[in-house]
Structure 1
């Protein structure tokens, strides 16, 4: 589960056939295709030979579909962004029912423990197949997750700056790549979301967002509840909407709701389009 340790968060979206006006009750886009790791895995790993699974309670305790394999008490960021776009839940690629008409509004390929290396990555060349609108998300502040607070034996709950510094180096290079793509691939638009800065802002100003616990996980074991994953033997916190983190690595449904709204209508970057709503309308 190495990539979970690095809190890898990267997904692209194919938003094709745009230009039509928004119709109440209909999706603002025809399809959304998603790539990433456990932060947005809808249950792809349920059918894989791996320990990186969340297809057991109390995962999904607040999710309308129940326990699906999502590493969250409720919906992922992709789920909530899909709601804002008027889309149904994007089906998991490995779900046996994902075929035929089920894929017309998109597919979620995200898989827990996937990453950017060849042996853990997802080899899919969104652009060569005609994709022209992308959302690229950088790595969140890994030094702030309960797992790292416990690993670094933090007594205060403050983010581990040495870890966040490494993440910042990667994110800077990723931003340079996105800028390069926007300059070279004139027919495409690459929207960049700085999930690192967003996460830092929420954690530092957690009370302003309605949270009361910004560093202790809702479900887990050990210090900061960050040393042992959320397992069936654990009873999760009752006031889950007051926690930033669901388990040692992943945010709560409440955090994902806030993040999806920032993605949809916030000011993600200085150039146009600045958010997903503008991306789909351009």
Structure 2
């Protein structure tokens, strides 16, 4: 499942991925639609992706992933050496839980009320509660506390969440009053404080190797550009500036947690920087083919998701966005490989994933 681009990066750094033996015993995924692989399929919500054209390039077809193919979480799992995709919490069996669980849910936020206008979603607090249940199941199956604690301490925990707390909360004054209560600086501080408490709950459940993905530049998403307009610029920079405040505080939180919690390691993935480099390279690559633009690859509805259709753009490998909000498989690929092996110190701090798992 690992494509030629990933192999090229791995060979450059002389790292061998042995697919028959994963580099960590288990892999747990928390987050929103960027890494959801089907937990929302049975929920009563508008935030669903279990229909075409989602999954048009995925080997298993339509699964509930909010993109045309694999997500960055899927690809990180491949880089770690897992030969199967990590199962969703909604479908995982006792035989599978020792290798990991995907708890992510489209629409989920750090705050429980985020995206409530779309319907049900599994907010981060509920995801952690679900993980608590999985840990209890693991203890029950192993009947060996020492073994289970050691097992969990070696696992990788990935968090990709926070975008909805802006797109489906702070930037929606029609439904939420947070933008009237908090300045952008205050809101970012409020979110990161909540996030910090949630991460400490994971630590108490045995998490020791924890990856926190920063937010992508929301002001560059097709839906935001369509609604707000850019006055001729590529992105809505005023919104990107708001999101940057959260990313800056999240990076500082990682430093704080690493300083205060001696037996755990946290790292920050700078998705905004990775995305900006990716767009620059794509613009150069596309210049001889067509002008590069922030446009979706499918017909989109008013909430930015793909309409129920089989029609997509023909050049999906040159598209950053698949719908009005979510990245294409190509964009997921770049983020996954850049977080696993950071080609620039700006991409990951203080470690990339390949170094974190060896600590």
> Under a length normalisation based on structure 1, what TM-score does the superposition of the two structures give?
0.84
Partner of 2:213: 137
For residues 1-282 of structure 1, the aligned pairs below 5 Å read 23=18, 25-87=20-82, 88-95=84-91, 98-120=92-114, 121-123=123-125, 124=128, 125-154=201-230, 156=232, 158-207=234-283, 213-221=292-300, 228-233=304-309, 235-266=311-342, 267-268=344-345, 274-282=351-359
Instruction: Assess if the C-alpha contact under 8 Å between 1:192 and 1:268 holds in 2.
Output: no
**Aligned mates of 2:254, 2:356 — CA distance in 1:** 15
SS of alignment partner, residue 306 of structure 2: coil
Regions of 4+ moved over 3 Å = 21-24, 154-157, 207-214, 267-273
Tell me which structure has the larger Cα radius of gyration: 2
**Aligned mates of 1:62, 1:157 — CA distance in 2:** 31
**Aligned mates of 2:270, 2:93 — CA distance in 1:** 33
How far apart are 1:280 and its partner, in Å?
A: 1.1
**Aligned mates of 1:91, 1:184 — CA distance in 2:** 33
How far apart are 1:179 and its partner, in Å?
A: 1.0
Q: What do you get for the CA RMSD once the two structures are aligned?
A: 2.3
Per-residue Cα deviation, 1:159-213 (whole angstroms, up to 9, x for no partner): 1100000001111111111111010001110011011111122223323567964
Q: Which runs of 5+ in 1 are unaligned?
A: 1-20
How far apart are 1:155 and its partner, in Å?
A: 5.9
Partner of 2:193: none
Provide the aligned length of Structure 1 versus Structure 2: 257
Instruction: Assess if the C-alpha contact under 8 Å between 1:71 and 1:250 holds in 2.
Output: yes
Q: Which has the higher contact order (CA 8 A, sep 6+)?
A: 1
Per-residue Cα deviation, 1:114-133 (whole angstroms, up to 9, x for no partner): 00113353222210011110
SS of alignment partner, residue 104 of structure 1: helix
How far apart are 1:272 and its partner, in Å?
A: 7.7
Q: 1:272 to 1:193 in 2, by over 3 A?
A: closer
> Under a length normalisation based on structure 2, what TM-score does the superposition of the two structures give?
0.67
Q: Which runs of 5+ in 2 are unaligned?
A: 1-15, 115-122, 129-200
How far apart are 1:59 and its partner, in Å?
A: 0.3
Instruction: Assess if the C-alpha contact under 8 Å between 1:216 and 1:245 holds in 2.
Output: yes
How far apart are 1:25 and its partner, in Å?
A: 2.2
